[in-house]
C-alpha cells in the first residue's frame, strides 16, 4: 500500500458524503488468463479500487454502506496449495486493517449483502465495468445483463469518483514524478538507440524492460513507428531508415500504478531535413504555447483551440492552408493535420478514468463534447483546477488516406491547399507530449529532467550519444 491508512479512510469518507445513500460496490480486478487458465497476464488492479482501498491482490471487492458508514472488504483467504506454489500473502483481515476497513467477509457473502440491499429497495451503486469477468460477477450480484451494465452504472458514484480522483494531492504528485523519471529513462534510451538498421520492435522492447524493471510496466502499449501518421502505430520488425522520423509514444507505471505519458519524434539520421524541421518547429511551438495558457479557471477546450489556431496560422505560412484562420479552425479544417485532442487527464490510468465515461471526466454542464471530426477526440475540455494533471500532446500528421478522402469530397477545400499537401504524403507524422500539472497560478511539466524536444536540443543529444 502506497499511502497512510488515513489517506484511504479520508477518501472513502469523501465518497460516502458525495454519494449520499445506498450500497457502494468498488470491484477489484481478477486474474486474467492469457492462453490457459494458470498462465495469466501480469495482474493489474483496478485504479478506483486502488484509490479507495490501496490493495493489489486479485479477487477483492470493497463495499461501503453510504447510509450507515459500514465498510467491508470481501475476499477469500488463500489455501495451502496457493501457499505451496506462490508463497503466503497478507490475509484479508490484515489488508482491511492496513486501509482502515472494519469488517471482512468471504466473497460468497457479498451476494447476500447485495440481495438484501436490493430487496429493501436501496440503490446499489456500481461503476461501468470494463472486464468481462467483472461483468459476469455484477450480473450474478445484481441480475443486470452485461449489455446493460454501463447504462445502469451509478451516475452519482461516477461523478463522486471523478471529483475526487481528478485533483491530485501532493503525495500523488510525488508518485507521478516518479513515473515521469522512469519515462525520462525510457525516452532518452529510445532516442539513443534510434539509428538506421535498428528495428522498431527492438526499441519498444527496451522500453518495456526499463518500465518493468524500474516500475510496474508500461502505462499502455508503446507506440514506436516510422509511420508517425498512424496515431497508434505499434512497433513492427521494420528497420529504421535514414532520412525518416521515428515517433515514440510511451509511458511508465510506478509499482503503485501512477503513470507517465511522453512522446518524442526523432530524426533517424541524427538531424532534421529542412522540410521536417519546418513542421517540427510548429509542433514545438504549439507544445510550448499550451504552457503559457494553462492555469486554474481556464478551459482546456480554449487551450486546445489556441493551439489549433497557432498551428493553422503556421501551416498557412508554409502554404499548406489558406483563408481566415478563425474560420478554418471553426470549420475543423486543421483536423486534417491534428485529428485528435490536445490532451487527456492522467493519473492512475494513463487516460485517467476513461472507463467511467469521457463525458463525465473531460466535460461538464458548462463544457459540452463536440461531434466535429477531430474535436470529438478531445478527451478533456473542462475548466482546469489546481491539482489537475493533463497531457499536452500536439501533433501534425500527413495521413494519405485522409488527405485523399477530404480531397475527393472537397472537405474544407476553402482552407486546404491540397496540391501542396499532396507533396507531404510520404512525410509521416510528428507528436510531442509531456505531462502538465496545474498549479495555483499556472502550470508546469512533471518530471525533473526534460526529455530533449526543441530541435537543436534533439540534434545535440543525438550528436553527443556517440
Contact footprint for ligand GLY (CB under 6 A): 220, 249, 261, 344, 393, 433
391 binds Mn ion (CB under 5 A): yes
In angstroms, what is the minimal distance from the CB of 164 to Mn ion? 22
**Of 265, 185, 280, nearest to 227 (Cα)?**
265
Query: Whose Cβ is closer to Mn ion: residue 46's or residue 393's?
Result: 393
Are 430 and 286 in contact by the 8 Å Cβ rule? The answer is: no
Distance CA(167)–CA(296), nearest Å, equals 12
**Of 230, 420, 414, nearest to 329 (Cα)?**
414
Distance CA(298)–CA(288), nearest Å, equals 16
DSSP string over 232-297: T----SPBP-TT-EEEEEE-EE-TT--B--EEEEEETTSS--HHHHHHHHHHHHHHHHHHHH--TT
**Of 194, 285, 192, 205, nearest to 244 (Cα)?**
194
In angstroms, what is the minimal distance from the CB of 220 to ligand GLY? 5
Q: With CB cut-offs between 5 and 8 Å by kind, which of Mn ion, ligand GLY, none does residue 265 bind? A: none
In angstroms, what is the minimal distance from the CB of 454 to Mn ion? 19
Angle between helices 274-293 and 300-317 (to 10 degrees): 150
Query: Whose Cβ is closer to ligand GLY: residue 256's or residue 393's?
Result: 393
Query: Whose Cβ is closer to Mn ion: residue 61's or residue 389's?
Result: 389
In angstroms, what is the minimal distance from the CB of 319 to ligand GLY? 29
Query: Whose Cβ is closer to Mn ion: residue 249's or residue 256's?
Result: 249
In angstroms, what is the minimal distance from the CB of 344 to ligand GLY? 6
Q: With CB cut-offs between 5 and 8 Å by kind, which of Mn ion, ligand GLY, none does residue 434 bind? A: none
What secondary structure letter does DSSP report for 372? S
In angstroms, what is the minimal distance from the CB of 401 to ligand GLY? 20
Q: With CB cut-offs between 5 and 8 Å by kind, which of Mn ion, ligand GLY, none does residue 220 bind? A: ligand GLY
In angstroms, what is the minimal distance from the CB of 394 to ligand GLY? 11
Are 252 and 213 in contact by the 8 Å Cβ rule? The answer is: no
Query: Whose Cβ is closer to ligand GLY: residue 115's or residue 231's?
Result: 231
Query: Whose Cβ is closer to ligand GLY: residue 92's or residue 250's?
Result: 250
- Residue 395 to residues 88, 308, 372, 443, Cα–Cα distance (Å): 48, 10, 18, 21
249 binds Mn ion (CB under 5 A): yes
Query: Whose Cβ is closer to ligand GLY: residue 370's or residue 377's?
Result: 377
Grid cell digits, residue 12: 472513502
Q: With CB cut-offs between 5 and 8 Å by kind, which of Mn ion, ligand GLY, none does residue 12 bind? A: none
261 binds Mn ion (CB under 5 A): yes
349 binds Mn ion (CB under 5 A): no
Cβ neighbours, 10 Å, residue 125: 24
- Residues contributing to the site for Mn ion (CB under 5 A): 249, 261, 391, 433
Amino acid at each position: 500500500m502506497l499511502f497512510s491508512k488515513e489517506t484511504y479512510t479520508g477518501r472513502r469518507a469523501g465518497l460516502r458524503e458525495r454519494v449520499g445513500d445506498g450500497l457502494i460496490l468498488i470491484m477489484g480486478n481478477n486474474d486474467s488468463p492469457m492462453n490457459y487458465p494458470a498462465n495469466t497476464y501480469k495482474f493489474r488492479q483496478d485504479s478506483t479500487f486502488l484509490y479507495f482501498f490501496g490493495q493489489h491482490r486479485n479477487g477483492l471487492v470493497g463495499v461501503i454502506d453510504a447510509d450507515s458508514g459500514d465498510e467491508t472488504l470481501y475476499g477469500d483467504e488463500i489455501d495451502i496449495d496457493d501457499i505451496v506454489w506462490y508463497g503466503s500473502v497478507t490475509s484479508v483481515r490484515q489488508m482491511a486493517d492496513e486501509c482502515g476497513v472494519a469488517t471482512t467477509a468471504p466473497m460468497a457473502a457479498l451476494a447476500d449483502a447485495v440481495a438484501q440491499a436490493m430487496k429493501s429497495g436501496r440503490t446499489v451503486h456500481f461503476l461501468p465495468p470494463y472486464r468481462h469477468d467483472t461483468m459476469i460477477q455484477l450480473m450474478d450480484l445484481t441480475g443486470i445483463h452485461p449489455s446493460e451494465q454501463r447504462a445502469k452504472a451509478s451516475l452519482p458514484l461516477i461523478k463522486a469518483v471523478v471529483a475526487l480522483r481528478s485533483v491530485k494531492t501532493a503525495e500523488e504528485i510525488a508518485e507521478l514524478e516518479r513515473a515521469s523519471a522512469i519515462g525520462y529513462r525510457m525516452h532518452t534510451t529510445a532516442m539513443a538507440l534510434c539509428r538506421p538498421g535498428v528495428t522498431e520492435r527492438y526499441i519498444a522492447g527496451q522500453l518495456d524492460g526499463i518500465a518493468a524493471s524500474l516500475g510496474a510496466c508500461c502505462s499502455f502499449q508503446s507506440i514506436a513507428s516510422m509511420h508517425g501518421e498512424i496515431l497508434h502505430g505499434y512497433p513492427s520488425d521494420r528497420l529504421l531508415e535514414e532520412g525518416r522520423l521515428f515517433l515514440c509514444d510511451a509511458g511508465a507505471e510506478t509499482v503503485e500504478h501512477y503513470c507517465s505519458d511522453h512522446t518524442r519524434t526523432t530524426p533517424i539520421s541524427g538531424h532534421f531535413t529542412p522540410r521536417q524541421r519546418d513542421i517540427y518547429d510548429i509542433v514545438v511551438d504549439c507544445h510550448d504555447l499550451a504552457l503559457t495558457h494553462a492555469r486554474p479557471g481556464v478551459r482546456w477546450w480554449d487551450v486546445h483551440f489556441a493551439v489549433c489556431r497557432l498551428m493553422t496560422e503556421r501551416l498557412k505560412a508554409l502554404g499548406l492552408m489558406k483563408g481566415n484562420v478563425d474560420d478554418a479552425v471553426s470549420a475543423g479544417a486543421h483536423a486534417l493535420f491534428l485529428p485528435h485532442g490536445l490532451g487527456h487527464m492522467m493519473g492512475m490510468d494513463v487516460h485517467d478514468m476513461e472507463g467511467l465515461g469521457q463525458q463525465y471526466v473531460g466535460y461538464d454542464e458548462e463544457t459540452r463534447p463536440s461531434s466535429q471530426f477531430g474535436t470529438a477526440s478531445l478527451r478533456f475540455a473542462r475548466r482546469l483546477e489546481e491539482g489537475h494533471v493533463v497531457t499536452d500532446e500536439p501533433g501534425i500528421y500527413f495521413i494519405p488516406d485522409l488527405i485523399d478522402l477530404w480531397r475527393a469530397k472537397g472537405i474544407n477545400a476553402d482552407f486546404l491547399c491540397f496540391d501542396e499537401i499532396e507533396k507531404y504524403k510520404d512525410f509521416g507524422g510528428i507528436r510531442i507530449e509531456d505531462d502538465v500539472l496545474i498549479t495555483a497560478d499556472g502550470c508546469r511539466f512533471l518530471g525533473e529532467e526534460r526529455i530533449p524536444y526543441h530541435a537543436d536540443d534533439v540534434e545535440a543529444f543525438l550528436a553527443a550519444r556517440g
